[in-house]
Amino acid sequence: MKSSAQVISLAEKFAGMFAGVGVHPSEIENFDENNSVEKIAELAAQKKVIAIGEIGLDYHWEKDSAVRLEQQKTFIQQLDIARQFNLPVCIHERDAHGDALKILQREAKGLRGVLHCYSGSLEMAREIWKMGWLIGIDGPVTFNNSKKLWEVVKAAPREVMLIETDAPYLAPVPNRGKRNEPAFVVDVAKKIAELRGEDLDDVAEYTTHNAENLYFNALKDFN
């Protein structure tokens, strides 16, 4: 909650910066069913908030089934806030592919969004694309152990991919291990172009267009 308020403060200081708000699945121990839901809704109403997220499920670090159920509950509550304010959603999903997909298919009808730093299968990606949602491609696409992600990238229609940083984490090759930053997205774009046999400028153009389309409704008052 604290960092959600902080990003709004930052966004208000800079014309080209916008904010997403929400409670990450790893932070739900601080989530109160009433006060936090109301507070997120208050934050979501702020002018420069253009997304709800990152929200979602993270089973990589959390093995307790009761806490996983709380993650699911918090996830659904925040999807409802996105619907209330007609905002796109940025999904964090790690080692929770099946549950995340079921929740999105059941609870996210009419919403739009992106599965940030996509790590699922091609089969799951196709289900996501059927819903009109996008996948985010980050630094791991440049890693040699990302062959599953390469297949997803090769199969993806142009209109369903975004390029992301996940800064300060997951810096792409040749900067792997360093602090990630937005300037490094060009290396992600280069790998996408290589995998798909496309021109780098084309990749830059359609992924930028996809980002603008995803956030257009929230951004229209700033154009």
- Look at residue 221 in the predicted model and tell me its pLDDT: 58
For residue 39, being part of any structural domain is answered with no
pLDDT of residue 222: 55
d(CA 84, CA 44): 9
- Domain harbouring 185, CATH code: 3.20.20.140
Q: Residue 41 falls within a domain, yes or no?
A: no
Q: Specify the pairing of strand 134-137 against strand 161-163.
A: parallel
pLDDT at 33: 72
Residue 89 lies in a domain: yes
pTM: 0.93
Give the strand order in the sheet containing 134-137. Answer: 19-21, 49-58, 89-94, 113-115, 134-137, 161-163
pLDDT at residue 50, rounded to an integer: 95
Q: How many domains is the chain built from?
A: 1
Is 173 part of any domain? yes
CA distance 20 to 115: 14
Does residue 137 fall inside a structural domain?
A: yes
Kindly state whether residue 45 falls inside one of the protein's structural domains. no
Q: Which residue's entry shows tokens 């699911």?
A: 72
Nearest to 33 by CA among 87, 94, 76, 89: 76
- Show pLDDT as tens, one digit a residue, over the chain (223 residues): 899 999 999 999 999 899 999 999 999 987 877 788 999 999 999 999 999 999 999 999 999 999 999 999 999 999 999 999 999 999 999 999 999 999 999 999 999 999 999 999 999 999 999 999 999 999 999 999 999 999 999 999 999 999 999 999 999 999 999 999 999 999 999 999 999 999 999 999 999 999 999 987 655 455 4
Q: Is residue 16 part of a domain?
A: no
> Does residue 157 belong to any structural domain of this protein?
yes
Structural domain range at position 73: 53-222
Say if CB 96 and CB 72 are below 8 A apart: no
Considering Cα of 129, then 131, then 132, then 138, what sign does the dihedral take? negative
Q: How many helices (H) and strands (E) does the chain have?
A: 8, 6
Pair of tokens at residue 163: 């390029």
Q: Are strands 89-94 and 113-115 parallel, antiparallel or unpaired?
A: parallel
d(CA 12, CA 23): 20
> Per-residue b/e over 47-63, b at no fewer than 16 CB within 10 Å?
ebbbbbbbbbbbbeebe
